[in-house]
Amino acid sequence: MAACRLCLMTAHEFAVNFAEAETLGYLGADWIEAHCSVPDGFDKGRPFIPSDWQLQIILNHYRVKRSAKWNPDRILLAPAFTYRRSQVVAPQKTGKGPLAAALTALEAAGPIVFGGWAEGGEVYDCRDHGCGCGFIYEYEPGDAMGIPRNTSLIQLVATSEEQVDNVYRPLQAMIRSGPLDAFMKTGEQFVRLPNDGKIEAVTSSAQSRLGNPINFANFDETGIYTVQNKMVRVAETMRRGLAGMGGRSIEWTNPWDPAENSTAQRTYESRSLDIYKFYRKPSTELSYKNARERRRIHAYVYKGSPWVDLDAIEAEAAELMETDPAQAERFYGNRIVHGMGSWLKDGLWDAAYAAEDLASKPA
Ligand SMILES: [Zn+2]
């Protein structure tokens, strides 16, 4: 097993099935460590070092096609990458928000555009890109190289303002406590980036920014984007805006209720080969109703999230099992489970499909 490039020790517990050189992910993860800090908890303020599962997502999302060709007059954007977009399905409290915040910062100012293949001796030096932090990354011959965008237009998407905060709060903390603060201005509503760039929120109640050209979108909790709350259409409209700009996106979600035909479900069931899907499914041999087996499920789906206290997860799951076992199994067991939450009134399911039929008719 090869040593990991990041920690230079033993290989991580996962393996990517492509060459290390064919991704901007190692550079991206190093950039995150140098520019972003842990936003909360006991390690608040320490460098944000992606854990195994987080690194696996980064390496795949930034996987570069071997066939990508560098041409400074015609820079390849999304088509340089194996995946046009990614989906992360993971349980509650596993650390999706902080990783989404770190990747948003990376997209805002980091080397996320394919910049050719290294011949040897090349470096990524932050000073060449307006950041005085001193970060330097040395490429090995054959490595995919990265450059930042001149202007980054980024949107954080969620169903509500509170939900946007899942990513916006940690992002604010990361910017304010590190070198990014020198050239990004964080406000309550949006982050101002160099060269008229911007990170802003789009919610179901604030869709006025919908349709703006953007380079990157972060979709939070797509398992609750439905036709009724209009978020399915928001996500589709935004993906069209991304396509026009050669942009890419990531969606994050808990497992969904398959009765709702959410954006998360549509993505997961899509046959498109250019969507990277990260989803650690627990063994079907284990029953979530059995407390001992439930613990084994938690140990598996929260693996690599050392900040999670499995006793606390079990306590929350056990309580939720009393009133809404399906939701408990989705939230903490990381399984796609049928079952209507108490908030979904009878008949809404049928109404959703009726509305969708109308929406899909040509105008
Ligand atoms: Zn820097």
Mean pLDDT on 7-27: 75
pLDDT band at 157 (very low <50, low <70, confident <90, very high): very high
Model confidence at 152: pLDDT above 90: yes
> What's the pLDDT at 347?
47
Q: How many A from CA of 107 to the centre of ligand 1?
A: 13
Q: How many A from CA of 358 to the centre of ligand 1?
A: 49
pLDDT band at 4 (very low <50, low <70, confident <90, very high): low
Mean pLDDT on 205-212: 78
Task: Name the residue among 129, 152, 95 with its Cα closest to residue 27.
Answer: 129
Domains and CATH numbers, the chain: 25-279 (3.40.50.300)
Model confidence at 340: pLDDT above 70: no
Amino acid occupying residue 105:
A
> What's the pLDDT at 8?
47
Q: How many A from CA of 236 to the centre of ligand 1?
A: 34
Q: How many A from CA of 125 to the centre of ligand 1?
A: 8
pLDDT band at 70 (very low <50, low <70, confident <90, very high): very high
Give pLDDT tens digits for 233-250. 999 999 999 999 999 999
Say how many CA atoms lie within 13 Å of 252 toward its Cβ: 28
Q: How many A from CA of 128 to the centre of ligand 1?
A: 9
Q: How many A from CA of 180 to the centre of ligand 1?
A: 7
Model confidence at 346: pLDDT above 90: no
* C-alpha separations of 39 from 147, 169, 176, 338 in Å: 26, 8, 10, 34
Q: How many A from CA of 132 to the centre of ligand 1?
A: 6
Scan for tokens 């990513």, then name that residue.
Answer: 167
Q: How many A from CA of 29 to the centre of ligand 1?
A: 13
Give pLDDT tens digits for 249-300. 999 999 999 999 999 999 999 999 999 999 999 999 999 999 999 999 999 9
* C-alpha separations of 216 from 213, 268, 310 in Å: 9, 20, 34
Ligand 1 is a single-atom ion; what residues have CB below 5 A from it?
Answer: 126, 131, 133, 135
Model confidence at 83: pLDDT above 60: yes
pTM summary value: 0.90
Model confidence at 231: pLDDT above 50: yes
Query: Cβ(54)–Cβ(94) under 8 Å?
Result: no
Q: How many A from CA of 194 to the centre of ligand 1?
A: 14
> What's the pLDDT at 59?
97
Q: How many A from CA of 307 to the centre of ligand 1?
A: 27
Give pLDDT tens digits for 35-62. 999 998 888 999 999 999 999 999 999 9
Mean pLDDT of the chain: 90
φ, ψ dihedrals at 293, nearest 5°? -70, -35
Amino acid occupying residue 203:
T
Q: How many A from CA of 173 to the centre of ligand 1?
A: 16
Sign (positive/negative) of CA torsion 215, 221, 226, 229?
negative
Q: How many A from CA of 136 to the centre of ligand 1?
A: 8
